[in-house]
Amino acid sequence: MSVPLEPTDQAIARELNANGRTSFTDLAERVGLSVSAVHQRVRRLEQRGVIKGYTARLDGEQIGLPLTALISLTPNDPAAPDDYPQRLEHIREIESCYSVAGDESYVLLVRVPSPAGLEDLLRRIRESAKVSTRTTVVLSTPFEGRPAAL
């Protein structure tokens, strides 16, 4: 299950993780290979799923989603089949969904425009997944989405 990444591929992955728009030309210089060699490696990393995608990180405040929260889920019926992620997938306010070890079963990271938006979101989560929720409101985000510690 997953060969440890070769040093060159690791360097490429690290660079693209830190700057997702680095050109192949720059990458080639940094890892000491020709542009075409790097090009091939990046495509392979994408195919293998080492690179899952590219995204611009946006400032929640400025895009109208200033309220972030962590929501922990507990199933209402512990005997029900565990298809919670599927039941929640359609809710676009949910950015991430983690299955966790602990008192609760899942933790969601969500972004909403306002307290009213959060209230409505919680209602939809409870209805869609038949869970009870415990919400931790994020007051501020000192940092987020930093480069991986490769």
Partner DNA sequence: CTTGAAATCACATGGGA
Partner DNA sequence: TCCCATGTGATTTCAAG
Residues that bind a copy of itself (CB under 8 A): 1-2, 4-5, 10, 13, 16-21, 48-66, 68, 70, 85, 89, 92-102, 107, 111, 136-150
Tell me how far, at minimum, the Cβ of 90 lies from a copy of itself, in Å.
11
* Pick 25 or 114: Cβ nearer DNA: 25
To 5 degrees, how large is the angle CA 5–CA 9–CA 13? 100
* Pick 56 or 79: Cβ nearer a copy of itself: 56
Residue among 46, 47, 49, 54 at smallest CA distance from 21: 54
Q: Say whether residue 26 binds DNA (CB under 7 A).
A: yes
x-marked contacts with DNA along 47-86 as a string, rule CB under 7 A: ----------------------------------------
- Residue 130, sorted as left (phi over 0), alpha (psi -120 to 50) or beta, turns out to be left
* Pick 40 or 114: Cβ nearer DNA: 40
To 5 degrees, how large is the angle CA 13–CA 38–CA 31? 65
The greatest distance separating any two alpha carbons of the chain, rounded to the nearest whole angstrom, comes to 57
